[in-house]
Structure 1
Amino acid sequence: SCLVSDELLQYRHFVTKQLFERDLTDEEEEEVLAQFAALDPEKKGQIEWSDFLYHESLSVLQKFRTE
């Protein structure tokens, strides 16, 4: 199963709204798209679900460590 960039953006918008009660900024959207591009080095336009979960897990762990 795979994700496309629009689905990743939609997910990040949802999470930001739920956690911080605000929308993503334009800069944050650009960051999400840059992260997507990094996970899609072959430029297929999609990333593997397992790659997304791995990256998201690392991101969550990093946030907990800095708190």
Structure 2
Amino acid sequence: MSRTITVEGMSCEHCEQTVEEALEDVEGVTNASADRETESATVEGEADDDALVDAVSDAGYDASA
């Protein structure tokens, strides 16, 4: 399953990588791709939306599912 979440605060490629790594550490996520231009991240796999938002928040960015 694929879904997109909103991620605010990314300003560079390093930010995108940080968000991707945070999301990929969530149990059930098989792949994550962040895009600072669209302020979003696409996540593949079976993971709880709250866990995804929490992971991005813990990485220092604002997120909503």
TM over 0.5: no
Larger Rg: 1
The structure richer in strand per residue is 2
Structure richer in helix, relative to its length: 1
| TM-score normalised per structure 2 | 0.44
Q: TM-score, normalised by structure 1?
A: 0.44
